[in-house]
A and B are shown apart, each in its own frame.
Chain A
Amino acid sequence: MSQQALLDVRDLRIAYHGRDGRTEGVAGIDFQLQAGEILAIVGESGSGKSTTAAALVGLLAANARIESGSIRLAGQELTVASERQWQSIRGRSVGFVPQDPGLSLDPVKRIGSQLVEALTLHGVPKALARQRSLELLREVGLVEAERVARGYPHQLSGGMRQRVLIAIALANDPPLIVADEPTSALDVGVQRQILDRLQVLARERGTAVLLITHDLGVALDRADRLLVMHQGRIVETGNARQVFQAPQHAYTRQLLQAAPSLLVQQRRQVPVARAAEPSLLTVHNLSKDFSTWRHPGPLAVDDVSFHLPRHGTTSLVGESGSGKSTTARLILGLERPDTGSVLFEGQDISRVSRRDWLALRRQIQVVYQNPYASLNPRLSLEQIINEPLQAFDIGDAAWRRQRAATLLEQVELPARLLGSRPVELSGGQRQRVAIARALALEPQLLVLDEPLSALDASIQEQILKLLGELQERLGLSYLFISHDLAVVRQISDYVVVMQAGRVVEQGACEQIFQRPASEYTRSLLADIPGQRHAQLAVGAA
Chain B
Amino acid sequence: MSDGLTGVLPTPWRASRQAALLRRRPLLPLGVLVLLLVVGWALWPQLFSHFDPLLGVPVNALQGPSLEHWFGTDHLGRDLYSRTVHGAALSLRATLLAVLIALASGIVLGVLAGFFGGWVDAVLMRLVEILMAIPALLLAMAVITVLGFGTLNIALAVGLSSVATFARLVRGEVLRWRASTFVEAASACGVGPWTIIVRHILPHASSPVLALAALEFGSAVLAVSALSFLGFGAPPPQPEWGLLVAEGRNYMISAWWYTSLPGLVVAAVVVSANQLARALQDDQGARQ
Whether A16 is near chain B, meaning CB under 8 Å from some CB there, is yes
Q: Identify which of B3, B10, B184, B195 contacts A104 (C-beta below 8 A).
A: B3
Interface residues of B in 1-40 (CB under 8 A from A): 1-10, 12-15
- In contact, B190 and A362 (Cβ under 8 angstroms): yes
Q: Whole-angstrom distance between the alpha carbons of A169 and B1 in the complex? A: 9
Residue of B nearest to A370 (CB): B181
Q: Whole-angstrom distance between the alpha carbons of A522 and B176 in the complex? A: 41
Q: Whole-angstrom distance between the alpha carbons of A180 and B199 in the complex? A: 39
Q: Whole-angstrom distance between the alpha carbons of A180 and B190 in the complex? A: 40
Task: Give the Cβ gap from A53 to chain B, nearest Cβ, in Å.
Answer: 7
- In contact, B8 and A180 (Cβ under 8 angstroms): yes
Interface residues of A in 265-280 (CB under 8 A from B): none
If over half of B's interface residues share one DSSP class (helix, strand or loop), that class is named, otherwise mixed; here it is helix
Q: Interface centre among B3, B12, B182, B203, by most A CB within 10 Å? A: B182
Whether B188 is near chain A, meaning CB under 8 Å from some CB there, is yes
Residue of A nearest to B10 (CB): A61
Whether A99 is near chain B, meaning CB under 8 Å from some CB there, is yes
Q: Whole-angstrom distance between the alpha carbons of A63 and B13 in the complex? A: 6
Q: Whole-angstrom distance between the alpha carbons of A118 and B12 in the complex? A: 27
Residues from chain A with Cβ under 8 Å of B188 in the complex? 332, 334, 361, 365-366
- In contact, A391 and B199 (Cβ under 8 angstroms): no
* A50-B8, A98-B4, A376-B182 as given contacts; A387 in contact with B15, CB under 8 Å: no
Interface residues of A in 68-109 (CB under 8 A from B): 90-91, 96, 98-100, 103-104, 106
Residues from chain A with Cβ under 8 Å of B253 in the complex? none
Size category of the A interface is 35 or more
Residue of B nearest to A106 (CB): B3
Residues from chain A with Cβ under 8 Å of B199 in the complex? 376, 379
Interface residues of B in 160-208 (CB under 8 A from A): 180-182, 184-192, 195, 199-200, 203-204
Whether A12 is near chain B, meaning CB under 8 Å from some CB there, is no
- In contact, A373 and B180 (Cβ under 8 angstroms): yes
Task: Give the Cβ gap from A382 to chain B, nearest Cβ, in Å.
Answer: 13
Task: Give the Cβ gap from B137 to chain A, nearest Cβ, in Å.
Answer: 39
* A379-B199, A388-B190 as given contacts; A373 in contact with B182, CB under 8 Å: yes
Q: Whole-angstrom distance between the alpha carbons of A399 and B1 in the complex? A: 53
Residues from chain B with Cβ under 8 Å of A100 in the complex? 4, 7-8
- In contact, A361 and B189 (Cβ under 8 angstroms): yes
Q: Identify which of A17, A57, A391, A441 contacts B13 (C-beta below 8 A).
A: A17
Q: Whole-angstrom distance between the alpha carbons of A28 and B43 in the complex? A: 63
- In contact, B191 and A104 (Cβ under 8 angstroms): no
* A370-B181, A373-B181, A379-B199 as given contacts; A59 in contact with B5, CB under 8 Å: yes
Residues from chain B with Cβ under 8 Å of A59 in the complex? 2, 5, 9
Whether A60 is near chain B, meaning CB under 8 Å from some CB there, is yes
Q: Whole-angstrom distance between the alpha carbons of A87 and B6 in the complex? A: 17
- In contact, B1 and A437 (Cβ under 8 angstroms): no
Whether A473 is near chain B, meaning CB under 8 Å from some CB there, is no
Whether A378 is near chain B, meaning CB under 8 Å from some CB there, is yes
Task: Give the Cβ gap from A194 to chain B, nearest Cβ, in Å.
Answer: 15
Whether A227 is near chain B, meaning CB under 8 Å from some CB there, is no
Residues from chain A with Cβ under 8 Å of B15 in the complex? 18-19
Q: Identify which of A19, A54, A378 contacts B8 (C-beta below 8 A).
A: A54
Task: Give the Cβ gap from B157 to chain A, nearest Cβ, in Å.
Answer: 36
Task: Give the Cβ gap from A15 to chain B, nearest Cβ, in Å.
Answer: 11
- In contact, B9 and A61 (Cβ under 8 angstroms): yes
Residue of B nearest to A104 (CB): B4
* A62-B13, A368-B185, A376-B186 as given contacts; A387 in contact with B191, CB under 8 Å: yes
* A361-B188, A362-B190, A365-B189 as given contacts; A103 in contact with B12, CB under 8 Å: no
Task: Give the Cβ gap from A47 to chain B, nearest Cβ, in Å.
Answer: 12
* A53-B8, A62-B12 as given contacts; A96 in contact with B1, CB under 8 Å: yes
Q: Whole-angstrom distance between the alpha carbons of A305 and B264 in the complex? A: 74
- In contact, A391 and B10 (Cβ under 8 angstroms): no
Residues from chain A with Cβ under 8 Å of B5 in the complex? 54, 57, 59, 96, 98
Residues from chain A with Cβ under 8 Å of B204 in the complex? 378
Residues from chain B with Cβ under 8 Å of A91 in the complex? 1
Residue of A nearest to B185 (CB): A374
Residues from chain B with Cβ under 8 Å of A366 in the complex? 185, 188
* A19-B13, A53-B8, A99-B4 as given contacts; A391 in contact with B182, CB under 8 Å: no
B interface footprint on A419-437 (CB within 8 Å = 1, 0 otherwise): 0000000000000001001
Q: Identify which of B3, B180, B190, B191 contacts A103 (C-beta below 8 A).
A: B3
Interface residues of A in 431-453 (CB under 8 A from B): 434, 437-438, 440-441
Residues from chain A with Cβ under 8 Å of B10 in the complex? 16, 25, 51, 61, 64
Whether A537 is near chain B, meaning CB under 8 Å from some CB there, is no
- In contact, A387 and B186 (Cβ under 8 angstroms): yes
Task: Give the Cβ gap from A462 to chain B, nearest Cβ, in Å.
Answer: 22
B interface footprint on A440-480 (CB within 8 Å = 1, 0 otherwise): 11000000000000000000000000000000000000000
Q: Whole-angstrom distance between the alpha carbons of A388 and B4 in the complex? A: 38
Residue of A nearest to B189 (CB): A388
Q: Whole-angstrom distance between the alpha carbons of A99 and B112 in the complex? A: 40
Task: Give the Cβ gap from A113 to chain B, nearest Cβ, in Å.
Answer: 14
Q: Interface centre among B1, B180, B191, by most A CB within 10 Å? A: B1
- In contact, B191 and A388 (Cβ under 8 angstroms): yes
Whether A226 is near chain B, meaning CB under 8 Å from some CB there, is no
Task: Give the Cβ gap from A499 to chain B, nearest Cβ, in Å.
Answer: 26
Q: Whole-angstrom distance between the alpha carbons of A63 and B2 in the complex? A: 17
Q: Whole-angstrom distance between the alpha carbons of A254 and B239 in the complex? A: 79
Q: Whole-angstrom distance between the alpha carbons of A90 and B14 in the complex? A: 28
Q: Whole-angstrom distance between the alpha carbons of A365 and B185 in the complex? A: 9
Q: Whole-angstrom distance between the alpha carbons of A368 and B180 in the complex? A: 12
Task: Give the Cβ gap from A442 to chain B, nearest Cβ, in Å.
Answer: 13
Q: Whole-angstrom distance between the alpha carbons of A341 and B260 in the complex? A: 75
- In contact, A104 and B13 (Cβ under 8 angstroms): no
Task: Give the Cβ gap from A179 to chain B, nearest Cβ, in Å.
Answer: 11
Q: Whole-angstrom distance between the alpha carbons of A388 and B196 in the complex? A: 12
Residues from chain A with Cβ under 8 Å of B13 in the complex? 16-19, 61-63
- Report, nearest first, the 6 A-B pairs whose CB atoms are least far apart: A98-B4, A104-B4, A361-B190, A19-B15, A63-B13, A373-B181
- Please give 12 more A-B residue pairs, beta carbons under 8 A apart, in addition to A334-B187, A388-B190: A59-B5, A63-B13, A98-B1, A98-B4, A98-B8, A99-B4, A99-B7, A104-B1, A368-B181, A376-B199, A388-B191, A440-B189
Can you name 10 A-B pairs with beta carbons within 8 Å? A19-B14, A59-B2, A61-B10, A62-B12, A180-B8, A334-B184, A361-B188, A374-B181, A376-B200, A434-B185
**Residues of chain A whose beta carbon lies under 8 Å from any beta carbon of chain B:** 16-19, 25, 50-51, 53-54, 57, 59-64, 90-91, 96, 98-100, 103-104, 106, 118, 165, 168-169, 180-181, 332, 334, 358, 361-362, 365-366, 368, 370, 373-376, 378-379, 387-388, 390-392, 434, 437-438, 440-441
